[in-house]
């Protein structure tokens, strides 16, 4: 898994099998051959647990079951078995920091949660105070009010979460993407976050950016709780969603196999800034590369449609595991901004269903899709599969090439506008500008983002190329 490609499945939007317009586990199983054909090593499923879906499964109402909209445990077993038969590993998404407000624990074990007589100045990730009133007190919710934070200083919580972690591994899961893990432990005295004295290092909401965020997350003793997660998981693969700049990855990188590199995901498509993000991140142990997901948007939207292929080239040639978001292999578009039918934080647009074919329902469902498809006629798997010039073919070639890249990584100073590095005997070069630029690409050209991208020593605007010695 060290250098593997993990394909992120957003289960609601991948493949519906029963016509209710929402994707499900049987649907995922029916599409596993797409993942095999693509050449990825593993799939990660966003949460499938029972949930009132206030945050589409990141509000868990039961850690050891499957929400009926996705199927049941037997479907999970069938999916895992079918994935393993095909050599694919299965990563679950565990949400240890909070539950749904409808989880029975919230009623039965209120002391498993974090309470205060009066709110402090902590801010929720989605805006406003992180405290909500209940029965004359206030409970902490680092995300939506429907997601009360668990108290990881309570040994009963640790035990219950360890049981949940073991449950899926015993059933055959191969590891976890660990949600919002920098929020696991907070200041036990619940002191205010002091005012910020320096930039956080990653984009924040305006109100959050005013605070140092030193008490509301990432407490100094976090390592002890991470050790409990590792203890329950043995040597299963763990990748942490740590929303901190890479210089602050410790202790997460001590206990996890990989940590999401958010500096690169948030970098503008500018050679100088991309290089800085890559160099800062590769100085730390265990980066996991991710340039798009269900929270922040697709490759084509984040970096611009014309840069989507070059972004995929970058993602898939950096050293360490790479996470590819479903639909990005075909350059799928996003939904309209501002349309928030479901997610109050405005993330619906990153979550439209997968486009398998060119019909209006894209082969995703026979029913009414929970969100319409974005651009199935222009971009779909069937239409791109046999087209050697398609983005899908490029992504597949890049994934195949990855196996030959080895471990070595050396950034190159290739001049203004170019991101370039060596991977063993290969040289990767990407032009981030709108002008053709001269690049000294060593060896023979082996992959380019489009035919003719490299000509007479010049790399076309928005293009990338890989040479081999």
Beta carbon nearer to ligand NOJ, 146 or 375: 146
Distances in Å between the Cα of 439 and the Cα atoms of 103, 445, 462 are 57, 12, 13
Total residues interacting with ligand NOJ, rule: CB under 6 A:
9
Establish if 146 lies at the interface with ligand NOJ (CB under 6 A). no
- How far apart CA 59 and CA 66 sit, in angstroms, is 13
Distance in Å, CB of 177 to ligand NOJ, minimum? 9
The DSSP output letter for 248 is: G
Establish if 179 lies at the interface with ligand NOJ (CB under 6 A). yes
The 270-299 site mask, x for binding ligand NOJ (CB under 6 A), equals: ------------------------xx----
- How far apart CA 166 and CA 63 sit, in angstroms, is 11
Using CB under 6 A, pick the residue from 28, 101, 180, 429 that binds ligand NOJ: 180
DSSP 381-440: HHHHHT-TTSHHHHHHHHHHHHTTS-S--EEE---TTEEEEEETTEEEEEE-SSS-EE--
Residue the block writes with tokens 């969100």: 371
- How far apart CA 187 and CA 324 sit, in angstroms, is 35
Beta-carbon contacts of 190 under 8 Å, excluding residues fewer than 6 positions away, are 114, 116, 120, 122, 215
Q: Strand, helix or coil at 220? A: coil
Region 63-122 residues binding ligand NOJ, contact defined as CB under 6 A: 95
Q: Which two tokens stand for residue 190?
A: 């619940």
For the question of residue 241 being annotated catalytic, the response is yes
Beta carbon nearer to ligand NOJ, 309 or 350: 350
Distance in Å, CB of 179 to ligand NOJ, minimum? 5
* Helix (DSSP H) and strand (DSSP E) numbers for the chain: 14, 19
Establish if 151 lies at the interface with ligand NOJ (CB under 6 A). no
Distance in Å, CB of 312 to ligand NOJ, minimum? 21
Distance in Å, CB of 232 to ligand NOJ, minimum? 19
Beta carbon nearer to ligand NOJ, 59 or 257: 59
Q: Which of 274, 281, 275, 330 lies closest to 303, judged by CA?
A: 274
The 236-255 site mask, x for binding ligand NOJ (CB under 6 A), equals: -----x--------------
Establish if 44 lies at the interface with ligand NOJ (CB under 6 A). no
Compute, in degrees rounded to 10, the torsion defined by CA atoms 170, 173, 179, 181.
Answer: 60
- How far apart CA 458 and CA 449 sit, in angstroms, is 14
Q: Which of 142, 161, 158, 41 lies closest to 94, judged by CA?
A: 161
Distance in Å, CB of 265 to ligand NOJ, minimum? 12
Which residue is catalytic, options 24, 41, 67, 241? Answer: 241
Distance in Å, CB of 401 to ligand NOJ, minimum? 29
Distance in Å, CB of 217 to ligand NOJ, minimum? 12
- How far apart CA 77 and CA 241 sit, in angstroms, is 26
- How far apart CA 76 and CA 25 sit, in angstroms, is 7
Using CB under 6 A, pick the residue from 106, 112, 143, 249 that binds ligand NOJ: 143
- How far apart CA 195 and CA 209 sit, in angstroms, is 9
Distance in Å, CB of 351 to ligand NOJ, minimum? 9
Q: Which residue is nearest to ligand NOJ (CB)?
A: 58
Which residue is catalytic, options 149, 179, 208, 263? Answer: 179
Establish if 55 lies at the interface with ligand NOJ (CB under 6 A). yes
Establish if 325 lies at the interface with ligand NOJ (CB under 6 A). no
* Buried b / exposed e along 322-349 (16+ C-beta atoms within 10 A): bbbbbbbbbbbbbbeeeeeeebeeebbb
Beta carbon nearer to ligand NOJ, 243 or 356: 243
Establish if 40 lies at the interface with ligand NOJ (CB under 6 A). no
Establish if 375 lies at the interface with ligand NOJ (CB under 6 A). no
For ligand NOJ, the binding residues (CB under 6 A) are 55, 58, 95, 143, 179-180, 241, 294-295
Active-site residues: which are they? Answer: 179, 241
């Amino acid at each position: 898994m060290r250098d593997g490609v993990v394909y992120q499945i957003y289960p609601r939007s991948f493949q519906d099998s029963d016509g209710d317009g929402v994707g499900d586990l049987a649907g995922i199983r029916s599409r596993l051959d797409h993942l095999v054909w693509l050449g990825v090593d593993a799939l990660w499923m966003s949460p499938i647990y029972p949930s009132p879906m206030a945050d589409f499964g990141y509000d868990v109402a039961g850690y050891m079951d499957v929400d009926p909209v996705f199927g049941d445990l037997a479907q999970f077993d069938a999916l895992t078995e079918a994935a393993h038969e095909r050599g694919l590993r299965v990563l679950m998404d565990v949400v240890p920091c909070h539950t749904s407000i409808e989880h029975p624990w919230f009623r039965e074990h209120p002391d498993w949660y974090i309470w205060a007589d009066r709110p402090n100045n902590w801010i929720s990730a989605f805006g406003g105070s992180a405290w909500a009133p209940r029965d004359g007190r206030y409970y902490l919710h680092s995300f939506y009010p429907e997601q009360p934070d668990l108290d990881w200083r309570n040994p009963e919580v640790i035990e219950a979460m360890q049981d949940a972690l073991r449950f899926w591994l015993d059933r055959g899961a191969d590891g976890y993407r660990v949600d919002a893990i920098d929020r696991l432990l907070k200041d036990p005295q619940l002191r205010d976050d002091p005012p910020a004295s320096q930039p956080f290092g990653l984009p924040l909401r305006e109100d959050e950016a005013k605070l140092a965020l030193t008490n509301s997350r990432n407490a100094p003793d976090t390592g002890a709780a991470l050790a409990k997660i590792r203890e329950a998981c043995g040597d299963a693969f763990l990748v942490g969603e740590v929303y901190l700049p890479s210089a602050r990855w410790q202790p997460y990188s001590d206990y996890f196999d990989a940590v999401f590199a958010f500096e690169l995901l948030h970098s503008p498509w500018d050679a100088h800034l991309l290089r800085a993000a890559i160099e800062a991140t590769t100085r730390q142990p265990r980066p996991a590369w991710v340039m798009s997901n269900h929270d922040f948007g697709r490759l084509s939207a984040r970096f611009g449609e014309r840069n989507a292929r070059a972004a995929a080239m970058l993602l898939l040639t950096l050293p360490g595991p790479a996470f590819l978001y479903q639909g990005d292999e075909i350059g799928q578009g996003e939904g309209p901004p501002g349309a928030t039918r479901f997610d109050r934080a405005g993330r619906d647009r990153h979550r439209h269903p997968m486009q398998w074919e060119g019909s209006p329902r894209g082969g995703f469902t026979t029913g009414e899709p929970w969100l319409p498809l974005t651009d199935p006629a222009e971009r779909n798997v069937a239409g791109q599969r046999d087209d050697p010039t398609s983005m899908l073919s490029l992504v597949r070639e890049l994934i195949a090439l990855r196996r030959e890249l080895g471990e070595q990584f050396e950034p190159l100073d290739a001049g203004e506008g170019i991101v370039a590095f060596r991977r063993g005997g290969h040289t990767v070069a990407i032009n981030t500008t709108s002008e053709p630029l001269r690049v000294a690409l060593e060896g023979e050209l082996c992959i380019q983002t489009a035919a003719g991208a490299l000509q007479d020593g010049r790399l076309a605007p928005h293009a990338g190329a890989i040479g081999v010695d």
